Chains A and B, each alone.
Chain A
Amino acid sequence: MDELSDIYDSIVARRIADALLQRTMNFCIRKRRSFESLHSLRWRLLTGLLPTDVQLNNFSEKWSSCTQKCMTRWRTMNEDLNNRAPDDSKKGEVVKRKARFEEFDSSSEEVDDVTIENPLLPKNGSFYALRYRLNKLCSIIALDVDRIHWDIPLFELRTTRDALLKILSVYCVQHSCEYKQGMHEVAAFVFYLTHNDATILEHLRNERGWGHASLPNIFAPICPVEGVVAVAYYIFDAIMTESGVNLSFLYFSASDGQTDGITAATHNVQGRLLLKLDAQLHKQINTVYKITPTLYLMRWLRLLFLREFTLEQCADLWDVFLSERFVTPAEDYHLENSVVTLFAAVMLLNIKANIMKGYNEAIEKVMRYPSVGQISFLIQEAVLQLERVKHCLGRYFVVEDAVHVEEEQLFGVDSDRRVSSVITESSVRGMQQNIGALEFVVTMDEQCGTSTKSSLGKAVNTVNSNGYYDVIADGAYPK
């Protein structure tokens, strides 16, 4: 398949990272790959779970080895947890059982008497205290996991729910933190894509009987069906921590107790970032309506927009979020000031017309964001804004190319669509590739130079995605 071929080609050419970013930021051919982009594999590369400094002669071994380590460590963590908190269902002599029961009562009382901010503290002596708290944690998580449906048969399986329960409870134990609502959907989305990718590779491997040299055979051990839970756990852990976008910043206060990530991030979106995009809209929301940003942005940000867009759109969106993290030094990355928050501000701009109608209309639209046909245009705007602050992703971003547009026209796709920026999609390598990138940078500079606030404001007064696109093309960007 295309993604495997592209990965393999980039390994041969020794430009894995560059090619990866070009794929994550390429929205020309998005439709062709959809869920076949192997997002979980991309994310492991972008978060460092898989190294990008591999070569043709060792990549298979290294990546398979990393995968095996994930699976081994996952098994070890679960065994450690079971050893520290033995299951009540273990059988024993009657007398011993009674003794344990009495001890449990005592532990339970002790636990109830103490207000615990952190429900899972391994150091509290009794196995039964830990078991009690683990059971409590699991029952809270199960309540939410059992409420995930997404119209996907995978989530009706007991094995899936058990997997999610394990991923979330192990994460909470490992990081000594609470479970917070919302984490369950982040984990579910990661699990879904990891499972999807492993399934795709399994099917490909079974379909082609070409022998051991085929790509599916090479990549199957890197995305093994039996390792889905382990790999999903590590991707989830990475996304929640600083290996990824540090999403835990939005769920938990900093250790100093003063920094509240969700408040800082939400106020930044509706405050400084929105002000830069559109002063009128900023004033309307903050001064006229006095909408507290946390009301709606808490869900937008904590779930990384899973409730606002389709799963397919979110997969592409998270590619972009993790790409920014990948190209940004750890000390320079701040979630509250990232392409994630910029994207949220652009979302507000996108529904400006509805927001300006009145308070009730504004609240309804931010609470139930209208579906977007082409998310790439919102991403483009966010990346453009990001590029003005730091040059990191703009040179990789592509929306449409002439060839693609022609293809769509041949098949009767909307002929009114226009090209907002033309970059020839090139398979050349080395100098030619660099020349192509430079051309894109020049084009980007021109776009930045010619766009004005009024043009942007006018552009987003149109609500539907086609209108949004057309007006942008007409008013804001040279053809």
Chain B
Amino acid sequence: MEDMNLTFKVVIVGDSGVGKSNLMTRYTADEFSQDTPATIGVEFMTKSIKIEGRDAKVQIWDTAGQERFRAISRSIYHGAKGAMLVYDITNQTSFDSISTWLQELRAFVPATCSIFLIGNKCDLEHLRVIKKEVADRFARENGLSFLETSALEKTNVDKAFEWLAKSVYDHVVAPVDSAATGKRPPLNAGAAAKKPVNLSPSNSNQPAGKASGGCC
């Protein structure tokens, strides 16, 4: 059995200026800055968490939104178990780019990688141009989980990362545990590749619609 300390690699991708860096710093250091400089290459931060009672560390790789740079993409995505596709709800172009980013992700990350669609800056409701329903439909059609966040107001930021970590655990760690203990993997393993599956009984009563919950 693997060591008791789990390490997850999570990558954050999306167009320049959608708020990727502030999502990372808000979650890891509870910091938001209007002065965040453009990310050049990649930024790296870690956060220690508990998941299913176990100690784990999330390695977050925040990428430059402008760079389409194949040499660096391969190494950034290599081994990533979770990914956040981030767009800005006030920026149509950033949402239009999501399919391109998803295509790039699919080319480099493992098939078991859990991918979340994140609509950031939901505090700017008066400037919204991407309807939640449109994004939710895109997410369902592509097998992604969807959540709207505000790094500025810290809305759904922790929830997004915690759900992603839980999803990673369920997809990657739990099946290994099951195999190790002799349990049969779930019969819907094929479907699991499309949607997060909660194996823990304590979560079974959560409504499926919660996955697309936005700002309250």
Contacts and interface: CB of A to CB of B under 8 A. Distances in A.
Are A and B part of the same complex? yes
Interface of A: 140, 143-144, 147-149, 180-182, 184-185, 260, 262-263, 292, 294-296, 298-299, 302-303, 307, 360, 363-364, 367
A120 B153 CA distance: 38
Tell me which of A181, A302, A363 has the highest count of chain B C-beta atoms within 10 A of its own C-beta: A181
10 contacts: A143-B17, A147-B35, A182-B38, A292-B72, A292-B75, A294-B41, A294-B71, A294-B72, A302-B40, A360-B46
B36 A298 contact: no
A181 B37 CA distance: 10
Contact of B37 (A140, A148, A292): A148
Contacts of B38: 143-144, 147, 181-182, 184
Contacts of A299: 40-41
B72 A260 contact: no
Given A144-B38, A298-B42, A367-B44, 20 more contacts: A143-B17, A143-B38, A147-B36, A149-B35, A149-B37, A181-B38, A181-B67, A184-B38, A262-B69, A262-B71, A263-B71, A292-B72, A292-B74, A292-B75, A294-B41, A295-B42, A295-B72, A299-B40, A364-B44, A367-B43
A299 B72 CA distance: 12
A295 B75 contact: yes
Interface in B18-46: 35-44, 46
Interface of B: 16-17, 35-44, 46, 59, 64, 66-67, 69, 71-72, 74-76
Contacts of A363: 44
Contact of A298 (B37, B41, B66, B74): B41
Interface SS of chain A? helix
B72 A303 contact: no
Contact of B66 (A180, A360, A364, A367): A180
A367 B71 CA distance: 18
Contacts of A307: 40
A144 B43 CA distance: 16
Contacts of B42: 295-296, 298, 367
Nearest to A178: B66
Nearest to B21: A147
Nearest to B66: A181
A231 to B, nearest CB: 25
Contact of B75 (A149, A260, A294): A294
A295 B43 contact: no
A149 B33 CA distance: 11
Contacts of A181: 16, 38-40, 64, 66-67
Nearest to A291: B75
Given A181-B64, A263-B71, A295-B76, A147 B37 contact: yes
Contacts of B69: 262, 294, 298
